[in-house]
Structure 1
């Protein structure tokens, strides 16, 4: 039997998956809208592997992957976007349909679009260069950001929505239990409130909580087995401490 391996670097921004869907899959991450930084890190590893391993490749098809839709460059360039205003205005479905006609996809990061976080990715890898794929994703991302900002300005004029954001903050400051789903939806509103200058928490606070307050992260950091209820209680406690 062939064993599978997952290799990750010490900074946790580069990983290699071996013998999963494909023999080798390189994943690279970078903050912000910085696809080229992530690409360069992955490409350095790719060059080393090509120099030392016989890779299945044909001039007319590119890399021969397990799935035909990955033929060609085999590159999937993705950007993670927080789109609460477009979601609230019910514009995501129409936007995703328009984007699909450009050879890209816009899909929720979490089930049922919890947290209003979406992933924008290229769907075409054959007959296109890596640079073109990244340029396309960046160009569409720029347009999505413009639309999201317009939608946020509209929401800012809505006193009911402003009240909803402040109520959410009040609940998080006092809640004794917070589920993962409630956490994702609530922290989305808090981040939106920061962007609208309702309060002055740093964006890094939201990122830190998103990274550390899922059940698996809580279990790992506590070094003990936690039930779901225990995770909900611990999550609420940490949120109260973070938000003051």
Structure 2
């Protein structure tokens, strides 16, 4: 299997299937942070120590088939181009931190890209499992099963009082970051979003943009994840997240129905205008593209539009990112050229849906 597949195909195979509440929940993710005993955290490690970490972790998931997860492939970050690393970030297969500092960094990916195992990121090992829709429990079952395989092969840094030791104190304890990516356009349009997000912060959860900490929420897409990793069990973290997201789904669903009941003409006009602009514009900035794709997605979910499919919209959300545009149309673009090629891509894709 060529690693080019991971950077030339915009839509990961795991995203092609639907999931529970997929009209609102884009994905569920579990990420487990672990470190090896008797070796410095990556921020303090020498090149030789980072190579030792890679030598211990890489053989745990070899290339042969690993049950339902298929085969795995190891990609060393120093063997990838800057553009390929940017694309992997845009697909959420590696973190910006790993892409920017690939000192001994690597990632192990399975065939459908639902499992991403990062090595020498902020921690020695970060296991990420992704599912479409609201499937936090299933994502946890997969992540903890992979964690068990690694723990049987290497010695983790663990303290009887503090739990798993991590580079950042906010991850100490379980080392678990559970998150759900949600599309909440109706709560934004009805001006309820700030109240909802404030309530989320009061129950041990936090809200970030689509690329995690420090990123901006664009296109009405928000990432909801746990803040607390110490003092709660993994089950408590997951059930709290699931319960809160279920309530947010209900609020978003109610807001969508109110929009249809009270402002059907206005919301239809908004959706159709965005669809038309995406289909015919000559220049399109990333933020406008994300917002108008959000409008179209809402229109499809509400039955205002028969197409395009959610799979096509998911793919466009990746393909319109700067790195993927350069991958498709040639690198070293100016911002104006990216906006032109983004519009071209949208026209060619959505024009076929007319």
TM-score norm. by structure 1 comes to 0.92
**1:207 and 2:308 are equivalent in the alignment:** no
**1:218 and 2:325 are equivalent in the alignment:** yes
Consecutive unaligned residues in structure 2, runs of 5 or more: 1-45, 48-102
Q: Residue 163 of structure 2 aligns with which residue?
A: 62
1:223 deviates by 4.9
> Match for 1:124 among 228, 242, 251?
228
Distance (Å, rounded) in 1 between the aligned partners of 2:108 and 2:339: 29
Relative CO higher for 1 or 2, CA cutoff 8 Å, sep ≥ 6? 2
What whole-Å deviation, never above 9, does each CA across 1:140-192 have from its counterpart, x for those lacking one? 11100110011111222312232122111111111011111110011000001
> Match for 2:174 among 57, 73, 93?
73
**1:232 and 2:232 are equivalent in the alignment:** no
What whole-Å deviation, never above 9, does each CA across 1:16-38 have from its counterpart, x for those lacking one? 22233222222221111112332
Distance (Å, rounded) in 1 between the aligned partners of 2:258 and 2:216: 24
**1:7 and 2:111 are equivalent in the alignment:** no
Q: Residue 169 of structure 1 aligns with which residue?
A: 275
Q: Residue 259 of structure 2 aligns with which residue?
A: 155
Which moved further from structure 2: 9-18 or 78-87? Answer: 9-18
User: Is contact 1:28-1:38 (8 Å) kept?
Assistant: yes
Distance (Å, rounded) in 2 between the aligned partners of 1:85 and 1:212: 25
User: Is contact 2:209-2:223 (8 Å) kept?
Assistant: yes
Distance (Å, rounded) in 2 between the aligned partners of 1:226 and 1:85: 35
TM-score norm. by structure 2 comes to 0.65
Distance (Å, rounded) in 1 between the aligned partners of 2:139 and 2:107: 17
1:123 deviates by 1.3
RMSD: 1.8
